[in-house]
Chain A
Amino acid sequence: MIEFRLPDIGEGLHEAEVVSWFVAVGDRIERDQPFVEILTDKSAVEMPAPGSGTVVSLGANPGDMVNVGDVLIVIDDGGAAVPNLTESAVADAPEVAAPSTPLAPTVAPASATSGRRPKAAPATRKLAAELGVDLHSVSGTGPGGRILADDVRAATERTAPASAALGAVAPPPIRTDIGVPATLTRPPAASSLGQAEPGVQPLRGIRRATAKAMDASWSTIPHVHAFKEIDATELLEVRGRIRDALGDAGASITPLSLMMMAVARALRAYPLVNASLDLDADTITVHADVNIGVAVASERGLIVPVVKQADRLGVVEMAAEIARLSGAARDGSVSPVDLADGTFTVTNYGANGGWLAAPLIRPGEAGIIGFGRSEERPWVVDGAVVARPVLPVVIAGDHRLIDGDLLSAFHEHVCASLRQAIGLLL
């Protein structure tokens, strides 16, 4: 008997949402066969089976939250003793699977998958049939666990974008005319952005993770923001020359690649900005590595994969890493490792058309830099007003950790690197 519990898969993960099971109780399962998709803090992960055998029980229903250490699956591999499931995921379960009845339900009552019918009124059952929702996979939020119409609709919203995102993702559109192209943060189609049915739906998945992080950020971090505009002429020229030099291989080199390099160098120059504050422990942890998260708007929601040791990457490597991470974030295949250990964050909010914005710091980091959309603006050069591509560079710092002088110095370091972008290639 193999009992597989939700492992700690990094990023301080404590819980995860079960998105869907690929096996059912009674199925034969082979070692390393993916058996469940779980949604951790911002990533969807397919768990491989720890061994081969017959599935005895599943620890949760799709939509349920499970904690690290909770039993995800029990597999009968013909081996010994039945584990006591009641101590973990199924603490409230009325029954425990007996060894002789491998099909017996072992999940908690609120999410039972036994022979019982899902609790839902006829109109809700009809809606589920119309929307192709298996009511067994829906957690009811009504009295006694009754599944409501809104629960069914929420279930479709939870699964539909995910399946859509699993398809091929078009390469990021690249603008070669003017300004900073929309590379990473491709906005969702207007048809789906912000669409929802009236009613109450459970807070789950990426939305939940984002809500918790932003709640912590807004309510605990005193933000200080600073705004600058720079002439991005050289930045765009350098980017263009690199691409000319590399041909097709340079297609993924975007201004963001150079922006990330500028931020990485500034973080190396000012280690205190690459730090974490812990007021409970009264400590400041200065990180050895410069790991920069990049905010990516996926169809599942905001995801922040991390470019590790960003200060050690050349522009080509940086561009490749950004392309890899953003692609994985969009199609939901980003691994927990790629989401973990960020020390600072960059948001290219200008891809959505924004000029100036005041981004929020991810809890555990000391700051965040945002880049607006570069546009031709009047700019004074040698006493004359000329049109130049102007790039807004916005910074937020945790004022508990970073004073105004440090923030300004760091901010200027980034801007100076971008003004003389050729230096980033040295």
Chain B
Amino acid sequence: MVVGEVATRCDVLVIGGGPGGYAAALRAAHYGAEVVLVERDRVGGTCLNVGCIPSKVLIHAADLAHQAMASTGTGVRLSATIDVPELKTHLGSVVEGLTSGVSGLLASAGVTVLQGTARFSKPNRVAVVGDGPDAGIQHVEFGEAIVATGSRPIEISSLPFSHPKVLDSTGALFAFESVPSRLVVVGGGYIGVELGTAWRKLGAEVTIVEQAGSVLPGLDARLGRVVGRRLGELGVEVLTGATALGFDADDHLRVAVGEAERSVEADAVVVCVGRRPNSDDLGLDIVGVTTDAAGLIPVDASRRAAKRILAIGDITAGPALAHKATAEAEVAAQTATGREAHFDAMAIPAVVFSDPEVATVGLTVAEAKDAGITASRFVFPLGASSRARTLGSAAGHVELVVDEEGTVIGGHLAGPNVTELIGEVTLAIEMAATAEEVAATIHPHPTMSEGLLEAAHRVLGMPLHVRGT
């Protein structure tokens, strides 16, 4: 019998130190709360440690290598040597720099960080099981708890991560000591496309296996087509309408493509078919939270899931994106500290560091129609963009979607650096700006942002750099 187990008390307990959790902890501390953050691995979560950040390091290095090795016709000839161990060291140092920055922020905000795995033991208490050499159980009693435990890669039974050749997205970043000669990526979503493209540019033979009709399913189909064409130019084999079935006796990957079945040789198979929420071992029943069929925690607009319990990020509905979690963290921190707040964003942008980059926000015309809005799309092809031409890239387009009154309700972009451009479209949507107002805003020349200007001009029926309307 445990009598009077000693518990640390706090106003706000945050479980999970990813971009949702650490932001919630910082904000709650800013609002004057005593905050405890429980992190079982390293602060920064998937994003900083094994997701957005290291993958961008890899992609940047791969782009450098590719530019060196490809015949660019610019009059500059380079050659490249790929040193994977050094790349991984570099990758680790970027991650380390950012995560230690987060740790420093948490420390200076007065947030207590506990290393371990939290599980609800009472409606107002968690037990934190440490996993270090001095592992023990700590009890934390909270006023409000913010659950921000994130998600993990989905495992498919035919390709278990226990198989020596099968890797998840983390493995695709850290497991290789040299460039694999034959890499198969199962799942042509944004993670698969990013990783497949990067390793192809570093020299691997890459095959992408995607069940849908094109890569980047779920995004506007035109974006997937632009990226699919480029993957072909890069020499990536894309199998669409394809399903990975498992390994045959020769350890080749069996892939069903339509009616046919193919055998694909692979040194490694990266499985990135989606992510599932980390909600299964939290003791949520003890705090009166029932997850839905997908394992997600239902919350209201203030991020409340139950008395004392809030939830943010991948563990709740919506796109599993770091910036969505961070935005929800702002709301949850206010709610947890007794403030009136609700999640109210008009649109959550999404970016893919594919080649070319893809960025999307708001509604497509089809989605608008489902919402009862008669929308129209206006496209500026980047072939007419002076900046795209100077970058040696004419593939892609900038598309604005507007409603009946010309208000911007969506933007779907493919092209160089469009991930930086989507912020303007997102701002336009949040402000309910009209295309006329975008067109009245001076965009600097020569930049990619002029594509938005041109698309807005097109809405007004007055394009400048393309013919017709």
Q: Would you call A146 and B372 a contact (CB within 8 A)?
A: no
Tell me the dominant secondary structure on chain B's binding face.
Answer: loop
Decide yes or no whether A390 CB sits under 8 A from chain B: no
Q: Would you call A143 and B436 a contact (CB within 8 A)?
A: yes
Name the CB-closest residue of A to B407. Answer: A144
In the bound complex, CA of A117 to CA of B346 (Å): 8
Knowing A116-B372, A145-B407 are in contact, say whether A121-B340 is a contact too (CB < 8 A): no
Q: Which of A110, A115, A147 contacts B372 (CB under 8 A)? A: A115
Chain B positions within 8 Å of A121 at CB level: 430-432
Chain A positions within 8 Å of B374 at CB level: 94-95, 109
Q: Would you call A144 and B405 a contact (CB within 8 A)?
A: yes
Bits for A116-153, please: 1 = Cβ < 8 Å to B, else 0.
11011110011001000000000010111111000000
Q: Would you call B372 and A105 a contact (CB within 8 A)?
A: yes
Bits for A91-112, please: 1 = Cβ < 8 Å to B, else 0.
0001100000000110001101
Name the CB-closest residue of A to B435. Answer: A144
Q: Would you call A144 and B406 a contact (CB within 8 A)?
A: yes
Decide yes or no whether A114 CB sits under 8 A from chain B: yes
Q: Would you call A120 and B432 a contact (CB within 8 A)?
A: yes
In the bound complex, CA of A312 to CA of B412 (Å): 75
Knowing A117-B346, A122-B430 are in contact, say whether A145-B372 is a contact too (CB < 8 A): no
In the bound complex, CA of A333 to CA of B400 (Å): 49
Knowing A104-B372, A109-B404, A116-B371 are in contact, say whether A143-B430 is a contact too (CB < 8 A): no
Chain B positions within 8 Å of A117 at CB level: 346
Name the CB-closest residue of A to B363. Answer: A116
Q: Would you call A142 and B432 a contact (CB within 8 A)?
A: yes
Q: Would you call B405 and A110 a contact (CB within 8 A)?
A: yes
In the bound complex, CA of A95 to CA of B373 (Å): 9
Question: Number of contact residues on B: which range applies?
Answer: 20 to 34
Question: Number of contact residues on A: which range applies?
Answer: 20 to 34
A63 to chain B minimum Cβ distance, whole angstroms, is: 17
Bits for A204-216, please: 1 = Cβ < 8 Å to B, else 0.
0000000000000
Chain A positions within 8 Å of B433 at CB level: 143, 146
In the bound complex, CA of A121 to CA of B432 (Å): 6
Q: Would you call B434 and A125 a contact (CB within 8 A)?
A: no
Decide yes or no whether B344 CB sits under 8 A from chain A: yes
Q: Would you call B371 and A114 a contact (CB within 8 A)?
A: yes
Chain A positions within 8 Å of B373 at CB level: 112, 114, 116
Q: Which of A110, A115, A144 contacts B371 (CB under 8 A)? A: A115
In the bound complex, CA of A140 to CA of B407 (Å): 12
Decide yes or no whether B261 CB sits under 8 A from chain A: no
Q: Would you call B344 and A125 a contact (CB within 8 A)?
A: yes
Bits for B338-358, please: 1 = Cβ < 8 Å to A, else 0.
001010101000000000000
Decide yes or no whether B437 CB sits under 8 A from chain A: yes
Chain A positions within 8 Å of B406 at CB level: 143-144
In the bound complex, CA of A121 to CA of B371 (Å): 20
B378 to chain A minimum Cβ distance, whole angstroms, is: 15
406-439 of chain B: CB within 8 A of chain A: 406-407, 430-434, 436-437
136-179 of chain A: CB within 8 A of chain B: 140, 142-147
A124 to chain B minimum Cβ distance, whole angstroms, is: 9
Q: Would you call A145 and B405 a contact (CB within 8 A)?
A: yes
Chain A positions within 8 Å of B404 at CB level: 94, 109
Bits for B285-328, please: 1 = Cβ < 8 Å to A, else 0.
00000000000000000000000000000000000000000000
Chain B positions within 8 Å of A95 at CB level: 372, 374
Name the CB-closest residue of B to A140. Answer: B432
Bits for B375-410, please: 1 = Cβ < 8 Å to A, else 0.
000000000000000000000000000011111000
Q: List 12 A-B contacts (CB under 8 A).
A: A105-B372, A109-B374, A114-B372, A115-B371, A116-B372, A121-B431, A122-B344, A129-B342, A129-B344, A144-B405, A144-B432, A146-B434
5 interchain residue pairs of minimum CB distance:
A114-B372, A119-B432, A144-B405, A144-B407, A144-B434
**Assuming A109-B374, A112-B373, A116-B403, what are 15 further A-B pairs, CB within 8 angstroms?**
A94-B374, A94-B404, A95-B372, A109-B405, A117-B346, A119-B407, A119-B432, A122-B431, A129-B344, A143-B434, A145-B407, A146-B407, A146-B432, A146-B433, A146-B434
